[in-house]
Amino acid sequence: MKPTLLLLAISFLPSPLLAADHSLSISRTDQSITIKSNDREILTYQLQRPDNNKYPLDSACYFHPLRSPSGKILTDFANADHPHHRGIFLGWVEMHGKKDADFWGWGQPAPIAGRKIVNRSVDESSSTDKSATFKVSNDWLAENEPILREQLEAHITTIQSANILDLTYTLTPDADLTLARWAFSGFCVRMPKQGKLAITSPDGPANLPAPIHTKPESDWPAARWYDFTLTFTDSTSAGLALLDHPKNPPTLWHNHKDIRMINPAITAPSSLTIKANQPLILRYRVVAHDGPPDPKTLNQLSEDWSRHD
């Protein structure tokens, strides 16, 4: 949905969802695209691999950091337990097509050497007082040969107590490409290991056992959204809610409390083949909020999101 239409949709929502009194701006360097609200950074998209020895991959093209309106950083990068995790990112652990590849970064069922996601171009970037948008084109390379072409469209808006990131990925291979069945990988939000974590779904507190990465059937059930909220030592709290879209493929969730990852896995129900030149489109909404989650607001945002093509 275009930014103007998104704002129109928000304008008809109840009071808690009215657009906040923020002025958004967007800036770009060779390294990154940065969104600011009232001159305070809220989101950065990394176009180039960072100069960080802790990060083991060559891939770029991920979001970090993402902040709540009060400025709390809610994504993590290259944590010691999973150094290949990178904020908000997309990648699969086992892909079979013209070449086998692991763009997630685990490196066991498929090779990671010579596999990297690189930015090809920034196709559009613009902002208004109420929203910012950008579009990028990325290549997923295996030994310097593209096996998947990605077009990403990102919209950022603000409401009271939350920053909203809407993402549409269009993924097109030029030969049939199979995503093998795994309990994890795909779209992932990695949060920092800080504070006390509480997980919520539309049905209330979610206290399910941690899923097992080799057992897709252990993943959490499909839901419109899951929320991870951190309560910090100063008793403040902030969290991230990830909203699925009804047009996405069937999904189970590899939500792991100890790792602090939210992962709607489209490969958990079964393997998935993307036909040559027939794009797979994935849509996700990420809500970065201050304070505890408000299920009513998240349900309304989910309803709004479900109407977006």
Q: What mean pLDDT is predicted for residues 14-39?
A: 82
7 phi and psi angles, rounded to 5 deg: -65, -40
Label residue 126 exposed, middle or buried (CB < 10 Å: 0-12, 13-18, 19+).
exposed
Q: What per-residue confidence (pLDDT) applies to 309?
A: 83
Residue 206: closest CA among 179, 239, 232, 173? 239
CATH of domain 3-306: 2.70.98
Q: What per-residue confidence (pLDDT) applies to 17?
A: 62
Judge whether residue 4 has pLDDT over 70. Answer: no
For residues 184 and 176, give the distance between their C-alpha atoms in angstroms, rounded to a whole number. 21
Do 148 and 171 form a contact (C-beta atoms < 8 A)?
Answer: yes
The more confident residue out of 12 and 231 is 231
Residue 241: closest CA among 306, 289, 188? 289
Within 8 A by CB and 6+ apart from 129, the residues are: 22, 23, 24
Q: What per-residue confidence (pLDDT) applies to 130?
A: 87
Residue 169: closest CA among 222, 240, 113, 247? 247
pTM reported for the whole predicted model: 0.94
Q: What per-residue confidence (pLDDT) applies to 129?
A: 86
Q: Any idea where the domains of the chain sit in the sequence? A: 3-306
And the tokens for 97? 């097509």
Q: What mean pLDDT is predicted for residues 176-196?
A: 98
